[in-house]
Homo-oligomer: A and B are copies of this chain.
Amino acid sequence: MDNTITKELASNIKFNNVNITDRFFGYYQNLIINQVIPYQWKVLNDELEGVEKSSAIKNFKIAAKEIEGNFYGFIFQDSDVYKWLEAVAYSLHLKENKELERCADEVIDLIGRAQQDDGYLHTYFIIERPDMKFKDLWECHELYCAGHFFEAATAYYNATRKEKVIEIAKKLADCIYNNFGVEEGKIKGYDGHEEVELGLMSLYSVTKEKRYLDLAKFFIDERGQSPHFFEVEWEARGKTSYWNGWNPCESPNASKDFISCIGAEYNQTHKPVREQDEAVGHAVRVVYMLCGMIDVARESKDNSLLEACQKLWNNIVNQKMYITGAIGSTHVGEAFTGNYDLPNDSLYGETCASIGLAMAAKRMLNTEINSKYSDVIEKEIYNGIISGIAMDGKSFFYVNPLEVYPKNHTNPVLEQVKVERQKWYPCACCPPNVARFLLNIGDYIYSSNNDTVYIHQYIANNSRLNIGESFVNIEMKCDLLKSQEIEIKIGGSDLENKNIALRIPSWSSGHSVKIFNNEADYEIINGYIYLRNIPKNDISIYLSFNSELKVIKANKRVRYDAGKVAITYGPLVYCTEEIDNGDMLYNLLFKDSKNFEREAFTHNDLELFKIIVDGYREIDNDDSLYHENNVTLENEKITLVPYHYWGNRGVGEMQVWLRIK
């Protein structure tokens, strides 16, 4: 594999030129705009009864000295406001909303008033402990929050071209630049939770200020170096932790060594990032770190860093990813575990981690056009991410299991796995993350460089994209959940002699490509169909993929999936639910899919498809705990629904991996 970054890198199209017309994703975008953003705004302002108090906006008002009070919430509470702002930015582009824009402008003004003269911004430290600023990076999320603000600021600027938010962001970034670095007197360290790196790269994309790229690179390169920064700052603090009063070395059985107590793997600080070839620790941190690494590698043409990115990427998707795209096999540290350790019931599979992996995939695609990256994006957006939000937009999964048995949910190893989506979470990272991600889905469909438009996802949209110095208009008509026929009309001022690259999804068993009514000439490279030298300015491409029901097996090292298969159709992973099949789903056996049926149904006016296959039910009428084997099989139709849809019809059993006979 060629690890070098090609000269003409694909560069992401600005999100704000892609308007989603897709039936499926349009449904979710409307849900976010009409339901989630207003709901979240009320949460941030503590205006909802029965929902965990947020105080997020109030914290900013206290920090701005406009009201009196104490900081309340998680130490990363500010980031809830920033994620909301980012979602608002994307929504404003998709749909004008003067009132919402005014509200966002006011929040930005408030953030500006809370910001300190030196650019510092983090309401906990401003309000409670200004003496402790940047003195406990290990656990205090100051740079993490800054990173989310940079992402929000970039999005808001791209949507509105208003500069105020970028000014605040630059002032904050400069404050960080002034405080961190290798120079004498600066802090030679990094944040416990990666995010500022990708945030700085986001800010760099609009400001082109090289010091932000340098700062992101500094944070990445400093991570995992010796002496260990968290130990250095721990000693500088007099070996105390003041946040939550938690002293990791206080427990009677704890090691005397601070780094052993906290576990360096948790924060990916066990070795320099270029030497890390296995994804370990907190899964969201790993993928956010990976995003920053890829951005920096690409911008600075740093091939050794890119190689480290590829190693981490390969480890995640080839050894540690669930078939739904979920990552993070344990709630202990919300973390990865060993290779091929993929329990289906006691996993973490945080919605945010799936979002982070999609974000990393998009960035990998910017270093190399290869369908292995866009396939993972597709897997996440149709499965692991969408499962995080209910179809009414009112409840959310933080943890996304591949099987649940609510009537037998008594084991403490399942404690973090909720059998139904929850209204809102005290640690509310997933709901706003889903909101900002789904409104920005357009950013995942295309990329382009001087001579080629790359089409990664088949989500209906109308767009205007840069191609080198000129632009093209694209109208994509499709409904991938319904059929695999895609029509793409491309027109533009300077399309002639340019190229179009179309991804072949991994689930496709055959394809045809026509330009108007003629079979097109093409070549396939890394899973993309390349149409070279488009003959004229306005063309219609008719693309058709063959989708079949697939019976998927996991690697032989995945013991939890031994003797089981998963059913997929197109981009969708399917699952069984109790409401369709009765209980004890683990006593159902898949027979074959020769006579399978695909049947439409609607939920909240959205048409989806169930799949019905032939199977058996194990019958055992002996009710004693252990008895001689006397099981019989009865033929039974098994009904499967899309995984993302599970849990939308009340509490019941769900299972992705089905036993086979």
Contacts and interface: CB of A to CB of B under 8 A. Distances in A.
A317 B626 CA distance: 10
Nearest to A573: B626
Contacts of A341: 408, 410-411
Copies in the complex: 2
Contacts of A337: 410-412
A248 to B, nearest CB: 15
A584 B563 contact: no
Given A346-B413, A410-B341, A411-B329, A625 B317 contact: yes
A332 interface: yes
A553 B584 contact: no
A595 interface: no
A625 B553 contact: no
A338 B411 contact: yes
A321 B625 CA distance: 8
Contacts of A321: 625
Contact of A625 (B330, B413, B554): B554
A461 to B, nearest CB: 29
A563 to B, nearest CB: 5
Nearest to A319: B625
A239 interface: no
Interface stretch (A63-71, A428-436, A628-636): A628-636
Interface in A609-633: 618, 620, 622-631
Interface in A50-75: none
Contacts of A552: 626-629
A46 to B, nearest CB: 19
A659 B562 contact: yes
A631 B405 contact: no
Given A553-B628, A626-B555, A562 B411 contact: no
A526 interface: no
A336 to B, nearest CB: 9
A465 B327 CA distance: 64
B332 A555 contact: no
Among A252, A329, A620, A626, the most chain B Cβ lie within 10 Å of the Cβ of A626
Contact of A627 (B330, B412, B553, B629): B553
Interface residues of A, number: 57
B624 A550 contact: no
Interface string A583-594: 010110100000
Interface in A548-576: 550-559, 562-563, 565-566
B408 A559 contact: yes
A250 to B, nearest CB: 9
A257 B320 CA distance: 41
Interface in A375-409: 405, 408-409
Contacts of A627: 552-553, 555
A343 interface: yes
A557 B318 contact: no
B555 A408 contact: no
Contacts of A553: 620, 622, 626-631
B626 A412 contact: no
A604 interface: no
Contacts of A587: 556, 562
Contacts of A624: 318, 555
Among A550, A555, A557, A625, the most chain B Cβ lie within 10 Å of the Cβ of A625
A543 to B, nearest CB: 23
A625 B563 contact: no
A493 interface: no
Closest 3 CB pairs of A and B: A338-B410, A332-B412, A553-B629
Given A323-B626, A552-B629, A553-B628, 14 more contacts: A317-B625, A321-B625, A332-B412, A338-B410, A339-B408, A340-B408, A551-B629, A552-B626, A552-B627, A555-B624, A555-B625, A563-B618, A565-B629, A629-B660
9 contacts: A318-B624, A318-B625, A332-B412, A332-B413, A341-B408, A408-B559, A551-B628, A553-B626, A554-B625
